Structure 1
């Protein structure tokens, strides 16, 4: 997919198509008033392409499970939680004002000024690992941050990032469900939800409030997909004479 051709709507369409059984996890888009208030509060300028993207939807609250990575659906947060990098907790807990500018330089970032970046989300399941995502506001480029190392890597144009990078590299939603059920001792939708809730309670109050509204539907949808896969596997085994 050519990043210069894909539109914000096409990007969301790609994500929604993949995660269609969980479309109820989409977070409504930011209003013009919300975007303007954020720009004024943080003294930043968001590019038109980004404004269009987050005005359609602002996030997708799919639990990442053990597939901890920097995919859009796992790490992008709504604008009301965004913060300019120099105001973020990553910087405010540091004693050395040159720490992050030095890290930006060492990782070949487009600017060494913290004011040029916005922290736009993190992976709740990676709370102990410090997995964050930041945006270089003038270029619309998204960067992953592994804070504990620290390492910063470009993820590309934010619209293309949303369109192309699916959580865990799964081929479909059944693979997502099966992977968790196979790896977890506490499988099923209730197990996934319980672990997701644990991480959200570590310091994601807005996400937790959204989760409370969709949790029961997530559990039933997750289990329906798992049951469908189990039925399909059983059918194949019977056809092969394994039953």
Structure 2
């Protein structure tokens, strides 16, 4: 089934006073994306899915998903699909599994039982896959796919976007600002607090961001951990092409 989902909105960041969108993804290890109750600590390594599919304790029908339910839903969404589990590509370009994005409590749960919607992004062909899992039966009851749809980036995607920026010559200014603020060089993305939101190029635009929307692109909001914000408002990272774009 082809989806007709709404695209994420474009936002900007300010250096001193930054107001983040409510749906911007947190990129710090152990921090869950907002508002999704998704686990950013589970492994994304190829072959790591399908290991825990036993029933987990569940809440009432409309309670937020528990951590065990999220993990189980994520595993169940891939267990029965060998092609998706072995032939997809994650945000780092590794073949073997799609990039996990989020898990949500499915709408209509009160009538249909306790179900979870699990979203993955396949960087092999820029496709979003969303699967609805019945947590009581362990079955996938619905699969939806779409191209050109950009959900809120996961924490793993935010961190990878920051790593791409830092490897690019365009990231030199971020490194300079970090060293000026801390007195130490910036050598690893883990030295930063990173958040991201999906970015789509303007319709009809022929600039370097023209593919954003078809490609998976993000804008970053970065700061020194427990310190000041670093201005990255002029940069967009194309995660599909693994390139950095500087906007006018």
Q: TM-score, normalised by structure 2?
A: 0.28
Q: Write 1 or 2 for the structure with the bigger share of helix.
A: 1
- Which has the larger strand fraction? 2
